[in-house]
Every structure is written in structure tokens, then in C-alpha cells.
Amino acid sequence: MNAAVSVDGDAETTANGKVVGTTVPRADGDAKVRGIAMYGMDYTEPGALTVRVLRSSVPAARIVRLDTSKAASLPGVRAVATAADTPGTSGMLVVKDQSAFAREDVRYVGEPIAAVAADTPAQADAAVAAIELETRPLEPVFDLDEALAEGTRHIHPGWSDYEVAVEGHRGGNLAWEARVERGDVDAAFAEADYVVTDEYRTPRQHQTSIEPHAAVARYENGRYTVHTPTQFPFMVRDRVAEHLGVRPSQVRVVVTEIGGGFGGKLDAMLEPIACVLARKAGRPVRLVNSRTEEQTTCAPRENAIIRLRTAVSRDGTLLAQEAEALSDNGANSSGETVLCANVPALVLGSTYRIANVRYSSKVVYTNTAPTAAFRGVNGPYSVFAREMHLDHIAAEIGMDRRELRMKNLLRTGDTMINGQELDDACLDVAMDRLNEIAPWGERRSEDGRLRGIAVVPATWLTNPGPSAGAVRLSEDGSVVVTSGAVDIGTGALTGIRQIVADELGVPFDQVLIAHPDTDTAGFDNGAQGSRTTFGMGAAALDAATRVREQVLEAAAGMLEVSASDLELAEGHVAVRGVPDRRVSLAAVAGTAMWTTGPIGSTGKFAAPPVNFDAGCMTGALFTHMIGVSYHAHLAEVEVDPDTGKVTVTRYAVVQDVGRAINPGLIEGQVHGAVAQGLGYALYEDLRLRDGVVIDTGLESYRLPTALDIPPIETELLENPGNQGPLGIKGAAEPPIVPVAAVVACAVADAIGSPINSLPLTPFSVLAALRGRDSRDESSRSG
């Protein structure tokens, strides 16, 4: 474990001229600050038509008649598309149960039924209004438990015919189930001193990127080209092809600047619709979501129910645990919810020692908009449930809340519930460090406000997806990296440039990154799960290492020394110890051009295999963790006893990042993640009533503002991993994971009453306080 790194170091290079480990300003920052950057919603093409989508206004119905002939004949209308034009059935990798337009049935309010492309927005609106649609209502299904109950209507009557990537437990309204079972759970429960049972419910949270989804498509030479602000261009390529029933190579995805995504822009949404209309109209088309379409149809974090039952001994040992997690898939599996089905189990069993577990994670169909990945996926609610439940256990056995955690914490060399050994665990170090920053103890108030404190440890992973990249030395001595990795706004590509700059001994600003385009770039698994610096960083470093060898070989000939006597720095190759004997990289590139050929190489990354106990899991698509990082968060809160308003007065994060390539950018990610986590904890709740989203805009869907976020104390620990390049671990996603948990535990501490659902609005906190008061009264009178 290295010493904690300073996040406010402003040196642009270290003493040895390296940029890795320094807060280099973001390479994309200037254009974004000046408003010059071209986002997806800014992009258009000459003659582009406007697209408008007819969306379902009911949650569940059979389509009896759909007639677009009148709409098609209106002035300015160039094309109309329906399910007849998108023959494919798609889905996010696992279950293929989604059509781009509703086919026989509509399954959620907002589901696309048809779309039109017209010369003007008004003409497109008029055409949508002229589409004739007749439906017969079907019994809608909204409640997760009810969906799984015997006799409930199946939302996908033909579920058994769907193509699946792997087999798993599924059937009826159960879209997928993952199970983990280890040890002898029943025996442990039989021996326990205490058995503690709880249920937790959490809402949908919307990614709410500033930029809505947008797509501009054209059809030329038998191929589709779509410009889109996507997080995962290769996924969009494959999904568009699947929907349209064409080969992926017939689709080219070009990525614009991205105005935020947070998981909401991993899947194809508007792209298939834009592509089919571009082909039918023979003109480019442009489709941009309204904010209401974003809120009502774009795949938020799933609502969930987690039921926990834990066997504990008098001394606080966690003997066994049972869990049932129900996650709302929405109407189909277009998002990552099925793929992530096993994440609740991994989260429940990755931070504390529990030898015996039986976990079941069920992903459930409902007649609501599909859910999808949002930073931290199932993590925030699983940790919330886990930690509130631990507080309940602590209260039950009369043990200090921190002590209970420290006692059961996984230490170096311990194994998680999947049997994976954590040989670099440092949860205890993170917790101890947090305790130095803000020593544990009761927080008392003198002014009548209720005060509370909590600390929460957490383990998180890095998305293990593969990556390919190419690095070439240009004739002027600069370096160009080509990859399918996108910068979703985290500054991840700045980190890639830093890695390549150091490997090739060139100044940071001499490394450029080509715009992602699936025609020219190698595969990349998308900007998700903090993987860009990790996976793409590894691929870029691999390529740069080979380029370095080519440079040294060419320079060795030019300088007439052995390659092993050469070093790269400041854009030159020099003879070690004789700094005057050097040649510029431009000269090396020029010489190589006509001798060995232009200098350049590809590089690649695949996550190394990890040992774990595959036998304890069924239906798990996330089976283990790669690039494991360790975290500890602290929150102090004040609660107004009369209004229920929660104020977070202090927030501290100690985070293992493996190796900090750019500490300032990581700190920015910690701030953003904590802010989003506070939104989830305190404000955000994408409410639905009878399948209709109530929060159709940002007036009632409350995101936190700068005035709602306390100063965030951040400390980065460098505990290098051995699976990514340079010891790197994913750093951007995890800081959202423990936030709701630590805030809820602190609020529960303040009000002396448990919290079983989110968000902690003034209304719910006041209700909890009143519940406590009435309990107190009844116990006094009784």
C-alpha cells in the first residue's frame, strides 16, 4: 500500500517529466467550457428530416389495428416506419425479447409503435397524430410480487420461444434468476443466537444526462451510418443490426461528444428507428428526445425489493444469510438488468465474512418502461439494504455499529461468497483511515436538531470487458491513438493520453485520440463500470509498448548504438548518459517510413482469468470481480425534527484506486458520484402511478443542486492491482455505491428509527419520526 496521494497537486509533470500521477487538465475541457464541442444533439446533416415517434399511451394492450396510410399521405411526410420494418428481436446480450416497435402487444407507456420522418417538426407531429391505432386493453402488471404470483397474466406469453445467450432460470414474468448457495445455511440458522429479518424497497433513479438521446442516420451504398452520443458504439452497432435484421458490418456508428450518460446511453434506443427511416426516406434523418421522453422511456436504474434474513451469534459473528432481491426489468430486457442479475448477491457477499449464504436475485417483467444500467447498477440499493440490516443486527445484539462491521470485515486473503480470494483487500485500512479523518463516536446536538453518523465499507469491481486499440507515430513526432473507447465526460481519454505519453516519452499534448468510429476502431466494451482507463488503458499501453520497440529499433540504427542503451524523453530518443546524442521522434518516424515502414501497432486487452467457485452459482452472468477496489464512506447528518429535512453536514471518502493516473479527475468523479448518490438517498424517485411516469420533467424530478452537496473530503489510496495496466483499478463508478447506505444509516442513527425505503424526503423522514414517537408513546402507556 502506497501512501495516500494528494488530489490537489497541480504540478503538470512529475520530477522525472512523467505525466502519469499528475492532474493534467482534461484534453476535451477547453471546447466544452467554450461551448464549441459538438454533442449528439447539436449534430445534423444537410437535408436531415425530423423524426417523431408515436408512443403507447397505455401500459398493456393488444394492437387491433394500426393504419399509417393517412399519415404517410400528409404533406412533407417522407417515411413512416412500424414493426413491419424492424423484423429482428433484440435485447441486451442475454434475453432477446425486445422489438424496436411494438408488434402484437404494447407493454409499457411510451413504447414506440410507429415513427415518421417529415420535412418539418410540425409536419412530423401532424403525421403522428394522423396514425390510426386501435388497441384492446390487457390486464397490466406493475407490482413485483404480484408479477411472480400464480395466475398473474404473463407479459410475454411467448417467453419460452425467445432466443437466450445462455440458459438460466426463467419463466412467465420471471425474466431471469441468479442463485448463489454456499455452506450449510439451515444448520447455521438452527444454531444462531439471533435471527434478524428485514425488507427494503428502493425507487427508480433516472440518469438524467443533460443531453438527451439523439441520433442522426443516413443510408448510403447499402449501409447505415448513425451519429450518436453513445457510451458503447459496438453495442449500438450490434443492436441496430439485430433490430433491422442485417449484419453488424452493415452498420457504422460514429460517436459525437457525449453530454452525459451514466449508463443510460449504453443501449440502442433511437438509433434503430433513425436507421430504418433513413433507408425508407432516402434522406438523412434526425431524432432527438424531449426531456419528457427521456424521463418516461429511457431506462432508469431499476426499482427493487430486497429481503434479508441473517443468523448471528451473540458475539456479532454473521453465521448465515438468506436474501431475495427482486429487480424490476420493466417490459423487456433491452437494458442491463438481466445481465446484472447476480450483482446483488456479489454485493451482499463481498465486504463481510459470511460462510453460509443462500441468495436469489430475480429480475421481473412489469408493464413499465424497461430499466437499465445506472452507475453502480444494483450496488447502491444492495449496499443500502446490507448496511441498514447490519445496523438492525447491531441494535438487536447490543453491539456498536462500527465494531460489528470491523469484526466481520473481509481482510487480505479472505474469500468472498463466490469463493474468490481477495489477495489485496484493504477495507480495514480504508476504515481506519476514515476513523483518523473523523473519529467514530456519537454526534450530539445542542440546538434540538437530531444528529447522526455512519461509516460504510464497500468492495467494488471494474468492468472486465475487452478492448483493442492502435497507436501510431506520426511523421511530425506526435502520436495518434485509435480506439472505440469513448469519453463519456469523465476525462478517461485524458488518462489514456497520459499513459501513452509516458510510455513513448512525448509531451502530453503530443498524444491525440481519434474520434470513435466502428469502421476504423477496434472493439471496445464501452464506457461502463470504470473500465476505460483500465481496459482501454491496457490495450493502449500494449500498443504503445510495441511502438516503443519499433522506435528504439529505428533509432538504434540512426544513432549506431544498441537499443538497450536508448531512452525516450521529451519527444526524443537519446543515448542513456549522453543526452546530446539524440534524435527527434519526427526524425525517427521519417527514417522508419522509408526503411522499416511507418511506425505503429495495435494492442489489446482481455481480463485475466480469476479463480472462484463456479459451482455455487446458477444463472449468474456476473460471477466474479476484476480490478477489485475497496472503499469506506462516512456521513454526518442533521435532521430537523419538525420538518423531517435532512442536511448532510459532512461527507468523507477513502477510496482505493489502485494507481491514480490523474488524481484531480478522480476527485471530480468522486464528487460527481457522491452528488448522484445523495440524489438517490435524499431526492430522486422516478414515480409511476398505474404504469404512468409522474415525473415527466426536472421540475418534480429533483436532482441535487450545488447547494445540496456538502464539501466532500476525499482521500485516494494507492493499492495497486495486478489485472489492469500500471496497477490501475476502476475509480469512477464505485464512489456512488455506498452513498445511499451511509446517508440512510446516519439518518436512522439521528432519528432513532430504521429506514426501510428511499429516498429520504422530508415527508418520509417526518413519517418515520412520527412512527417512532407513536411507538414510544404506546410503549410508555403499555
Candidate residues 63, 683, 724, 746; the one interacting with other proteins per rule CB under 8 A: 683
If binding is defined by CB under 8 A, does position 774 make contact with other proteins? no
- Cα–Cα dist 340/350, whole Å: 15
Cell numbers representing residue 582 in the block: 539524440
DSSP 101-134: S--SEE-STT-EEEEEEESSHHHHHHHHHH-EEE
If binding is defined by CB under 8 A, does position 166 make contact with other proteins? no
Strand partners, 470: 482, 602
Q: Which among 364, 370, 371 has a CA at the least distance from the CA of 175?
A: 364
Strand partners, 254: 227, 517
For residue 151, with 0-12 CB atoms within 10 Å meaning exposed, 13-18 middle and 19 or more buried, which class applies?
Answer: exposed
Q: Which is nearer to other proteins, 3 or 706 (CB)?
A: 706
Q: Which is nearer to other proteins, 152 or 292 (CB)?
A: 292
**Is the Cβ–Cβ distance between 49 and 280 less than 8 Å?**
no
Q: What is the smallest separation between the CB atom of 707 and other proteins, expressed in angstroms? A: 4
Cell numbers representing residue 332 in the block: 423487456
- Cα–Cα dist 782/780, whole Å: 5
Candidate residues 445, 596, 705, 722; the one interacting with other proteins per rule CB under 8 A: 705
Q: Which is nearer to other proteins, 616 or 769 (CB)?
A: 769
Size of the site for other proteins (CB under 8 A): 20
Q: Of the listed pieces 71-79, 280-288, 694-702, 774-782, which binds other proteins according to CB under 8 A?
A: 694-702
Return all residues near 455 (Cβ < 8 A) that are at least 6 apart.
402, 405, 431, 434, 435, 440, 632, 633, 634, 742
If binding is defined by CB under 8 A, does position 700 make contact with other proteins? yes
* DSSP code at position 15: T
* H/E segment holding residue 320: strand 318-330
Q: Which is nearer to other proteins, 364 or 693 (CB)?
A: 693
Backbone angles phi, psi at 137, to 5 degrees: -65, 145
Q: Which is nearer to other proteins, 359 or 683 (CB)?
A: 683
If binding is defined by CB under 8 A, does position 150 make contact with other proteins? no
Q: Which among 365, 373, 535 has a CA at the least distance from the CA of 467?
A: 535
If binding is defined by CB under 8 A, does position 210 make contact with other proteins? no
Q: What is the smallest separation between the CB atom of 687 and other proteins, expressed in angstroms? A: 8
* DSSP code at position 535: I
Q: Which is nearer to other proteins, 297 or 378 (CB)?
A: 297
Q: Of the listed pieces 269-277, 326-334, 528-536, 638-646, which binds other proteins according to CB under 8 A?
A: 638-646
**Is the Cβ–Cβ distance between 633 and 460 less than 8 Å?**
no
If binding is defined by CB under 8 A, does position 643 make contact with other proteins? yes
For residue 104, with 0-12 CB atoms within 10 Å meaning exposed, 13-18 middle and 19 or more buried, which class applies?
Answer: exposed
For residues 100, 105, 109, 112, the Cα torsion angle rounded to the nearest 10 degrees is: 30
Q: Which is nearer to other proteins, 159 or 683 (CB)?
A: 683
CA distances from 312 to 324, 416, 522 (A): 18, 18, 51
Candidate residues 395, 702, 713, 772; the one interacting with other proteins per rule CB under 8 A: 702
Is 597 in a helix, a strand, or coil?
coil
Q: What is the smallest separation between the CB atom of 331 and other proteins, expressed in angstroms? A: 24
Q: What is the smallest separation between the CB atom of 288 and other proteins, expressed in angstroms? A: 14
Q: Of the listed pieces 185-193, 373-381, 412-420, 642-650, which binds other proteins according to CB under 8 A?
A: 642-650
Q: Of the listed pieces 391-399, 535-543, 555-563, 706-714, which binds other proteins according to CB under 8 A?
A: 706-714
Instruction: Please list every residue from 542 through 581 that binds other proteins, using CB under 8 A.
Output: none
Q: What is the smallest separation between the CB atom of 701 and other proteins, expressed in angstroms? A: 9
* H/E segment holding residue 768: helix 762-781
How far does the chain reach from its first CA to its final CA, in angstroms? 56
Candidate residues 272, 704, 734, 738; the one interacting with other proteins per rule CB under 8 A: 704
**Is the Cβ–Cβ distance between 192 and 313 less than 8 Å?**
yes
Q: Which is nearer to other proteins, 436 or 699 (CB)?
A: 699
Q: What is the smallest separation between the CB atom of 709 and other proteins, expressed in angstroms? A: 9
Q: What is the smallest separation between the CB atom of 291 and other proteins, expressed in angstroms? A: 10
Among positive and negative, which fits the CA dihedral 257, 263, 264, 270? positive
Q: Which is nearer to other proteins, 226 or 751 (CB)?
A: 751
Q: What is the smallest separation between the CB atom of 618 and other proteins, expressed in angstroms? A: 42
Q: What is the smallest separation between the CB atom of 450 and other proteins, expressed in angstroms? A: 15
Is 667 in a helix, a strand, or coil?
helix
- Cα–Cα dist 24/19, whole Å: 7
Instruction: Please list every residue from 500 through 529 that binds other proteins, using CB under 8 A.
Output: none
Instruction: Please list every residue from 750 through 769 that binds other proteins, using CB under 8 A.
Output: 761-763, 766
If binding is defined by CB under 8 A, does position 695 make contact with other proteins? yes
Q: What is the smallest separation between the CB atom of 53 and other proteins, expressed in angstroms? A: 17
Candidate residues 3, 15, 64, 707; the one interacting with other proteins per rule CB under 8 A: 707
Residues that bind other proteins (CB under 8 A): 642-643, 645, 682-683, 687, 694-695, 699-700, 702, 704-708, 761-763, 766
